[in-house]
Amino acid sequence: MLKFAQPTMDEATIQGVVEVLRSNWLASGPKVTEFEAALSASFGSRPTRVVTSATAAIEIALQVCGIGPGDEVITSSQSFFSAMNMIVKVGATPVFVDCDLDTRFIDLAQVEAAITPHTKAILPTYFPGALGDISALHALARRHRLRVIEDAALVQGSYWQGQPIGSFGDIATFSFHPNKNMTTIEGGAIVVADEDQARLVEVLRFHGIERLPDGTRDVSVAAGKFNMSDVSAVIGLHQLRQLPALLAHRAELAACYFQHLPALPGLRLPPHGTPQQSWNMFNVLISYEQFGHTRPSFRAALQEMGIGTGMSYEACHLTSVGKQYGYHEGQFPNTERIARETVTLPLHAAMTPTDVQHVCTAVGHVLRPA
């Protein structure tokens, strides 16, 4: 069975985990510090802290920006649920806008139109393959004095105009879930602009605790517990070293998809990756009815041929939580079309180009015109 996503673990990583387990230091310790330093170096030396997931990183990012009740955060409905949920969790209001059909980048004209006196931040999501105009997004935010929290969960290793995502801007968050470009089992990172914000992240990820000069502890804010273990951090250190090779392999597989997927009206491929874009997923849009299929029947047909698929993403504004804010069907045509038509084909570093060709042949077989 070809899974649509899976992590790659080498023996050195497994050995590294064994060493940490034998060291008797399992929770946050020297490996976390080392991992944060290595990550920071990959993000242009910006202060970087690790947490237990990208979702935790987004929650903390919102808190670092002081966002809470009465505030609005503009975000793309075409995203994973984390951004919406964390905006709601800190007591703010998610304000959804549509995205570009190909790049899935947040629609900047709609962002500008959605700004009100209550708007505090823009929270865009980046999608693998091609990025939108990130410079224009930051310029817009600067004009309106808004914070920007980049949900970069899927695009670690992507570059915008020669600079790695995370190495510029305001705040960026990353995911190390096993389906991502690199993993720590579960985990995430938050990259901030200065050491003061990094210190606040440290407080917010660990009970709100601050150490007082007399050695006792105060709790300055009622915070949760999101610190990463050294076991996860050592996996991250090994994965980070392998990341360039893993990304190059993914890019080769994506190129193979472009070469071998059949050119069919009704099958929409992602935009050809702009140079230096990472490929976490390979998502296509399919007009299933044109081929006598529904999405479930298409996915079942591939499943029968030993090919797993995924779906990214549903429309956030049409979830039960989204609808509580008055959103309804018909508001964001691109997001809603993606939600109806998207399917994620297998793409991970354990695959070979022959695996990709096998998937392409299978897709062509299943999508014979009805």
Q: Which residues bind ligand PLP (CB under 6 A)?
A: 53-55, 79-80, 82, 125, 151, 153-154, 175, 177, 188
d(CA 122, CA 97): 11
Quick check: 280 and 154 in contact, CB under 8 A? yes
Q: How far is the CB of 61 from ligand PLP (least distance, A)?
A: 11
d(CA 305, CA 303): 5
Query: Closest CB to ligand PLP among 28 and 232?
Result: 232
Q: How far is the CB of 361 from ligand PLP (least distance, A)?
A: 28
Give whole-number Cα distances, 199 to 29, 46, 51, 173, 190, in Å. 16, 13, 13, 16, 12
Task: Give the pairing of strands 48-51 and 188-191.
Answer: antiparallel
Check if 31 is active-site: no
Structure-token match 């929650």, residue found? 59
Query: Closest CB to ligand PLP among 137 and 256?
Result: 137
Q: How far is the CB of 79 from ligand PLP (least distance, A)?
A: 5
Collapsing DSSP to helix, strand or coil, 343 comes out as strand
Report residue 359 as tokens. Answer: 């998937």
Q: How far is the CB of 360 from ligand PLP (least distance, A)?
A: 24
Dihedral of the CA atoms 10, 165, 176, 9 (nearest 10)?
-10
Query: Closest CB to ligand PLP among 237 and 366?
Result: 237
Burial of 183 by CB count in 10 Å (0-12 exposed, 13-18 middle, 19+ buried)?
buried
Residue type, position 147, single letter: R
Query: Closest CB to ligand PLP among 164 and 187?
Result: 187
Query: Closest CB to ligand PLP among 4 and 80?
Result: 80
Quick check: 316 and 323 in contact, CB under 8 A? no
Collapsing DSSP to helix, strand or coil, 263 comes out as coil
Helix (H) or strand (E) segment spanning residue 291: none
Q: Which of 31, 120, 180, 323 is catalytic?
A: 180
Burial of 361 by CB count in 10 Å (0-12 exposed, 13-18 middle, 19+ buried)?
middle
Query: Closest CB to ligand PLP among 42 and 78?
Result: 78
Query: Closest CB to ligand PLP among 48 and 175?
Result: 175
Q: At what angle do helices 230-260 and 30-42 cross, to 10 degrees?
A: 40
Q: How far is the CB of 158 from ligand PLP (least distance, A)?
A: 13
Q: How far is the CB of 138 from ligand PLP (least distance, A)?
A: 19
Residue ranges in the chain assigned as alpha helix (H): 11-23, 30-42, 54-64, 82-89, 108-114, 134-143, 195-204, 230-260, 295-304, 320-323, 333-341, 353-366
Q: How far is the CB of 86 from ligand PLP (least distance, A)?
A: 9
Q: How far is the CB of 53 from ligand PLP (least distance, A)?
A: 3
Total residues found in the chain within this entry: 370
Which residues form the catalytic set?
A: 180
